[in-house]
Amino acid sequence: MSANQDPPSLRHVAIIMDGNGRWAQRRGWPRLKGHHAGAETVRCVLQCCRRAGIQYLTLYAFSKENWRRPKAEVDGLMRLLRDFLRRQEAELHDQRVRLRVMGCREDLSAAVRREIERVEVATASYEAGQLILALSYGGRTEIAHAARQIASLAARGELDPASVDEQTLARHLYLPDVPDPDLIIRTSGEQRISNFLLWQSAYSEFYVTPVLWPDFREADFQAALDNYAARLRRFGGIEAGTPPQEKPPC
């Protein structure tokens, strides 16, 4: 970024919270202890977002692929999620933050779904910010889900297949009203997108830190924001710009 360039706007941060297992294993503890410590980091980062005026925070809390983990770990993560929602609810109310979930919620147990739906309804009117949990989420599954919806509209004669464009697909994603993430942070040093927000990340800035998620603190979050602030987002053009909205010529 040149000296007189304004920093890019930052409305939406998405995080791949990685490294809980390694954090615990390095201490000779069970992996679940790492997830519990990771849940504390979630609370801290949510507060950081409020202070920094970031409107949307999306957290990759459980992927479609995470169901392959040992049953004890999956069950422990689901219990942790329910406890987290119960404990976090008061803070969501205080800060007027809306909870939303993206992913295949039908994969979740009835008890987890009930807890999510209760907090979603209780916070639905809040506009100060949104905490979005990606749960049983996979980017490819989300795109396939959107394609299925579009195909059935076309099969019923309610949509002309020739009119399907990027905006059509974007309208059929899980949360079509949420802007694409400006910044995606991944902890623990891995340099992969791991099936996270595949469509929405087309122009996101990517920041990888070696810090393991349970160790990630306000200073680490601020370092990511500072790094982002120095980026020049060109969206395929040659100068700082905004994401392309118009359909590009084919």
Q: Which residues are catalytic?
A: 18, 66
Q: Using CB under 6 A, which of the segments 17-25, 136-144, 157-165, 215-223 binds ligand FPP?
A: 17-25
Q: What is the DSSP string of 159-193?
A: S-GGG--HHHHHHTSSSTTSPPPSEEEE-TT----
Sheet strands (E) in the chain: 12-16, 56-63, 97-102, 129-137, 183-186, 205-208
- Is residue 35 part of the contact set for ligand FPP (CB under 6 A)? yes
C-beta atoms surrounding 202 within 10 Å:
13
Query: What is the C-alpha separation between 48 and 46, in angstroms, rounded?
Result: 5
Nearer Cβ to ligand FPP, position 10 or 46?
Answer: 46
At position 3, the amino acid (one-letter code) is A
- Is residue 22 part of the contact set for ligand FPP (CB under 6 A)? yes
Beta-bridge mates of residue 98: 130
Residue choice 196, 213, 216, 228 for contact with ligand FPP (CB under 6 A): 213
Nearer Cβ to ligand FPP, position 39 or 197?
Answer: 39
- Is residue 103 part of the contact set for ligand FPP (CB under 6 A)? no
Q: How far is the CB of 108 from ligand FPP (least distance, A)?
A: 13
Task: Write out the residues near ligand FPP by the rule CB under 6 A.
Answer: 17-22, 35, 38-39, 42, 59, 61, 66, 80-81, 84, 133, 188, 213
